Amino acid sequence: MRVGCPKEIKNNEYRVGLTPGSVREYVAHGHEVIVETNAGVAIDADDGVYQAAGAKIVPTAKDVFDQSDMIVKVKEPQPSEWAMLREGQLLYTYLHLAPDPEQTKGLVESGCTAVAYETVTDDHGGLPLLAPMSEVAGRLAIQAGATALQKANGGRGVLLGGVPGVLPGKVTVIGGGVVGLNAAKMAVGLGADVTILDRSIPRLRQLDDIFNGRVHTRYSTIEALEQEVFSADVVVGAVLVAGAAAPKLVTREMLSGMKKAAVIVDVAIDQGGCFETSHATTHSDPTYEVDGIIHYCVANMPGAVPVTSAHALNNATLHYGLQLADKGLQAIAEDRHLRAGLNVHRGRITNAPVAEALGYDLAEPAAVLQVA
């Protein structure tokens, strides 16, 4: 198969879909790999490194899309990219379709087959291709929140770790999954006073054991959520409903009860955000203020640390990517975890949460896959 990797074009996105190490693996499996020039410069991999790994370098994204049977990316295709997709072409990347009707329409009209990293599953009920970027984003959330909290950046002027004789800042983490766990680890490491809210009692028990009393855990009721959000200096939104739009847990009305110039970091913004007042921002303009509360809602947080995140992402995506390259649609038909990742196929929506969120008729993956 001809596997293509274009350069990412989303605002300040520096990751790359295929590292040179991944290129070597595809080539070793007998595939041709086509990479857009300078696709990997932000991870210290120039065209020469890719050529040494066995890739063919082409000058434009159009060359990649025109010459490839399968496109491997990081972020969802932008309008200029979904216009280059064609019927029968495989797309393997993050999509986050539920809050994005325009992209969904573009993919449906292209006729491509789109597998979304964020809905591929594993035997343990996890989301293995989402997990590494959730780890990165969770850790970055505390760095971002601490920076936004500085007075010069519009925040309250609180040091999260405090100093002897002065109480530390308070961090509230909504959601105890991968993002929440990693955010709490970073916040605890800085010396902050940390509370995690979740609705899974078994998960709260796990978190209590992991942190050995260094964080507070609370079952997430309306009352508990209000109390913790109102008392926080930084609130991290770390709620995920796989494939679906994130629930709006913090309303605009609740902002009036928060400390003035407190900071919200909405890591769920890729799925629409879990704060009613959230809208996506970029690394070049990451924050805005609503009712005196600073909002940080960058939709591609791991793009800020591409050397770390591109390699972490490739470690996770390579296994399934090679299956797709080796077997094509047969890989999706045979592997239920890849079928869970199938979101769009030849003009049909094949993921239930996406179909429900955007009003499409659901096409069951097993029914629409026609494998010879």
Q: Are 174 and 236 in contact (CB under 8 A)?
A: yes
Alpha-carbon distance values, 192 to 159, 170, 216, 239, 290 (Å): 9, 6, 11, 21, 25
205: CB partners within 8 A, 6+ apart: none
Q: Are 149 and 156 in contact (CB under 8 A)?
A: yes
- For tokens 């070597």, what's the residue? 24
Residue 96 is among the residues annotated as catalytic for this protein: yes
User: Which of the residues 96, 295, 337, 345 is marked catalytic?
Assistant: 96
How many Å from the N-terminal Cα to the C-terminal Cα in the chain?
A: 17
User: Which of the residues 198, 233, 270, 345 is marked catalytic?
Assistant: 270
In the chain, DSSP assigns E strands to: 2-5, 32-36, 56-58, 70-72, 90-93, 113-116, 170-174, 193-198, 216-219, 234-237, 263-266, 287-290, 293-296, 342-345, 348-349
Residue 66 is among the residues annotated as catalytic for this protein: no
At residue 46, the 3 state secondary structure works out as coil
Which residues are identified as catalytic? 96, 270
